[in-house]
Structure 1
């Protein structure tokens, strides 16, 4: 291989430069000042650390040790009892004695997930001290800061109570008199609320609107009182609207009957004697509130009144034995049937009533109980020609198709008539004439809670057809409230008033015209 003179010259030059640099580094490293002046890039790592040249004397000593000495030392070793100085030994658990210890143990067991033991300790703790939970809080959570309300001064708390003191209900409603009718909330938050035209109409026009609503449906007037505070004020203070309801034929007391005004089929009696009404309406009629009633709204709600906007339903359940078992000693296995039937009563302002006794469920038959449908289901029985007003109210029900299950149930409906007990009537000692016969005195029992002359204005008498032409049924019922605790709307109201939302049984009789017999 030929030698390259240029390569040899380069190698020689490189060795000289390296040796010159090494001499410069060794001369400058002897003085600290010179070492600090050398740039950091000129330091090179050593190829071998001085620790690698050290001798491990301990390792050599261990290798040279005599193993006989180790054996001699281990022969004198002995195990001591574990209970002496064993720091890792589990000490015996101390059983809790006090109520606080039981409670702490219960909390510990509960944190571990052992709910059985936790419950046992909780029970023992509460048996020893009923207020142990408070003592546990005082011990473990005594430094917890008190709530901000508890740190307030007594003066601040007293002022706060005076600020939130509630006004009596009459004063609160009176404060709503001049409040505006608020508009509806916007559909999107932050958007402009929709317009409210009714808030800009005059007050007289608003009251007239409320009066028309009351004459169409008093329940709608009550629901309007929940819309805003302004409507609640008019609902409570516009007593002339309630007086109009009491004196109107739509829902008021002129539609109440205090003697029979028609026969069993609903044909009216023609009489020149004016019919009694508690609150007559007309020119020159002095009408005042009854005794113990303070407002006309209270009269409309509490004075005995029949409802024409629905159907009264009575549910009756009874049991009867089923088929006997074929085994002589298996009477315990005999079936028992639970029979449920319903009695429906729908009243009309003309003094007539429809009575239906059926096992058909209310949802299947109640929407179809009307004079039109009963007349269609019982074509053999004659019935009076209805007035235009009654026909218009039942036109929709008559035009709608009646399900077969309802039509089958209405075949057993009975025509009848009704009347309330006159509030100021004197009771006859003997009997009352009904349908040309004398009704015995048990049909008009003297209520124990009435302090009057033996009559209760809440009593209701109903007379209906029987299953056969010779029979007549007489029902004696009483108007009551479905919630007796809220029956009385005022402390001034008499004790025997009710909301008239349900009927209770007072008596039931069956009269046989052929034999002149009464059966209870």
Structure 2
């Protein structure tokens, strides 16, 4: 590279910086001017006047946020430009910035590359990071890079076996609905004998009329819909009734135990869980009332699809958000080697338990779910918060669950920081709106309105340490992307409305009427987990 080339490159860099600075100055001034002229914040029942950064953040299937690149990254990329010849590959690769590995497998692959280059220091550093993130990362590396060789050996071994002649006749594919309809004439098969040659055990339900079987299935469905779904896998006769008895699904949808009559589209209590008293109680909204005739929404064809598709909150378990992030530890005072510095993996959890009366328990702690989830109840939270007022821990445990089943100290200490709150869903204009994938925009200063998303969930909790604060969580119901491992005609589809993704998190000061925004850089979505120990009586 000649001196003329260096001068030309420096001139280009200087002109680029001047152009970027001229573009960013008006934006900065406008932002500061807009920030200085603040107006009064709305009532905490509404959203703040500005959008949260989590609203525009895109997430992949694992919930990781995708952060867009800024202009400063573009300037740094221009500084790394060179005028090397195209055939000079070494110079080009040395100046091209490489993305830093994030997962354990990426760190392991980078360590192998560094070890092949002879850079043992960097290689050891990446090996340590990989094994801290995943102790079995070496098996994952072998499966990714050497599984092809294993498959070739197995294929050559099986190719030596004689192949069976195949016929050119393709079997007819029967639609699932037609296949299930043919199950009506199938009898209920008895259980197989325990030992070969013994008579089969009796099966009294095989001789029960269909009307009685439908009544039994109705009682099971109203008691626990999950058990009703599992009964469809018992035999073909139950699968037929599970699919065609839509009046059972309609009863579940209109019920107050698992259906949409238990959903709240306006706050039913205050932040502390006390019911709101009005002189004239307002009629409670429900998308499928029982006092008037209701029909199926046009996009759906059965009440079972309505139950699995419409946004609803689940009360038989808890929503958990697991947050993991890494931070660098302090280097040893007796060593100046950077690769010997520790790396800390921080993990904490957010818990949300909803109740049909409109209340919610919100907990942020580092205690793992197996230690605290079975004890997240209203009575335990009340007793745990009483112990923080200088009461004895033993008396609180005896008053909660009795001396035979006390609350562990680690769970009792975590429940002291639990917060009471209330929840509501966004009220749709019509039941059909619950199926639309419409976005939601916050109200602006000019009071422009837009159609709310029926999947939006609003939670208000009490503040920590000061009663003047109210925390507002804006979440949205989403569906899981996992697929069943075994394909079965009656196997349920991937669970819907089992995730709560973040759209915003704010703090509202009731005295100053001011809003503050919480950052959600590392936070992940909430995922529903059923807790069988709670039962179905909540």
Q: Does 1:193 align with 2:209?
A: no
Unaligned runs of 5+ in 1: 1-122, 127-132, 383-394, 426-438, 447-451, 487-496
* TM-superposed deviation, 1:301: 0.5
Aligned match of 1:482: 480
* TM-superposed deviation, 1:324: 4.3
Aligned match of 1:415: 420
Q: Does 1:149 align with 2:165?
A: yes
2-structure distance, mates of 1:308, 1:147: 55
CA contact (8 A) 1:480 1:504 kept: yes
CA contact (8 A) 1:262 1:269 kept: yes
* TM-superposed deviation, 1:275: 0.7
2:174 corresponds, among 151, 167, 191, to 167
Kindly report which structure 2 residues correspond to 1:362-511, keeping only aligned pairs within 5 A, or say none.
Answer: 362-379=369-386, 400-424=405-429, 441=443, 453-468=450-465, 469-483=467-481, 499-511=496-508
2-structure distance, mates of 1:227, 1:275: 39
1-structure distance, mates of 2:318, 2:187: 39
* TM-superposed deviation, 1:327: 5.4
Unaligned runs of 5+ in 2: 1-148, 390-399, 431-440, 485-493, 518-538
2-structure distance, mates of 1:205, 1:344: 42
CA contact (8 A) 1:304 1:498 kept: no
User: Cα 1:185–1:397, aligned 2, differ >3 Å: closer, same or farther?
Assistant: farther
Aligned match of 1:340: 347
2-structure distance, mates of 1:397, 1:342: 28
2:230 corresponds, among 209, 219, 223, to 223
> TM-score by structure 2 length?
0.57
In structure 2, the residue corresponding to 1:311 is in which secondary structure?
strand
2-structure distance, mates of 1:504, 1:149: 53
Determine which structure has more spread, i.e. the larger CA radius of gyration.
Answer: 1
User: Cα 1:362–1:236, aligned 2, differ >3 Å: closer, same or farther?
Assistant: same
Aligned residues: 331
* TM-superposed deviation, 1:466: 1.4
CA contact (8 A) 2:232 2:242 kept: yes
Q: String of CA shifts for 1:117-152, please: whole Å, max 9, x gaps.
A: xxxxxx9xx9xxxxxx9xxx9xxx9xx9x85625x6
In structure 1, the residue corresponding to 2:512 is in which secondary structure?
coil
Aligned match of 1:276: 285
User: Cα 1:204–1:334, aligned 2, differ >3 Å: closer, same or farther?
Assistant: same
2-structure distance, mates of 1:422, 1:405: 39
User: Cα 1:200–1:498, aligned 2, differ >3 Å: closer, same or farther?
Assistant: closer
CA contact (8 A) 1:478 1:504 kept: yes
1-structure distance, mates of 2:511, 2:322: 32
Kindly report which structure 2 residues correspond to 1:87-126, keeping only aligned pairs within 5 A, or say none.
Answer: none
Q: String of CA shifts for 1:100-133, please: whole Å, max 9, x gaps.
A: xxxxxxxxxxxxxxxxxxxxxxx9xx9xxxxxx9
User: Cα 1:309–1:323, aligned 2, differ >3 Å: closer, same or farther?
Assistant: same
User: Cα 1:174–1:442, aligned 2, differ >3 Å: closer, same or farther?
Assistant: farther
* TM-superposed deviation, 1:338: 1.5
CA contact (8 A) 2:353 2:360 kept: yes
- Calculate the aligned-residue CA RMSD, in Å: 3.4
2:305 corresponds, among 298, 301, 314, to 298
> TM-score by structure 1 length?
0.58
Larger relative CO (CA 8 A, sep 6+): 1 or 2? 2
Q: String of CA shifts for 1:403-458, please: whole Å, max 9, x gaps.
A: 11111111110000000111118xxxxxxxxxxxxx97379x99xxxxx9431111
User: Cα 1:183–1:396, aligned 2, differ >3 Å: closer, same or farther?
Assistant: farther
2:267 corresponds, among 260, 266, 290, to 260
User: Cα 1:257–1:398, aligned 2, differ >3 Å: closer, same or farther?
Assistant: farther
User: Cα 1:242–1:397, aligned 2, differ >3 Å: closer, same or farther?
Assistant: farther
Aligned match of 2:514: 517
Q: String of CA shifts for 1:253-284, please: whole Å, max 9, x gaps.
A: 000001111111111123421110110112xx
In structure 1, the residue corresponding to 2:477 is in which secondary structure?
strand
CA contact (8 A) 1:372 1:398 kept: no
* TM-superposed deviation, 1:517: 1.6
2-structure distance, mates of 1:246, 1:190: 47
Aligned match of 1:92: none
Q: String of CA shifts for 1:144-181, please: whole Å, max 9, x gaps.
A: 9x85625x6xxxx43xx3xx322100000000012111
User: Cα 1:411–1:454, aligned 2, differ >3 Å: closer, same or farther?
Assistant: same
User: Cα 1:396–1:276, aligned 2, differ >3 Å: closer, same or farther?
Assistant: farther
In structure 2, the residue corresponding to 1:455 is in which secondary structure?
coil
User: Cα 1:169–1:397, aligned 2, differ >3 Å: closer, same or farther?
Assistant: farther
2-structure distance, mates of 1:219, 1:479: 20
Relative to structure 2, which stretch is displaced further, 503-512 or 266-275? 266-275
Q: String of CA shifts for 1:302-330, please: whole Å, max 9, x gaps.
A: 11010100000001112333334325844
* TM-superposed deviation, 1:379: 2.2
* TM-superposed deviation, 1:331: 4.5
CA contact (8 A) 2:401 2:407 kept: no
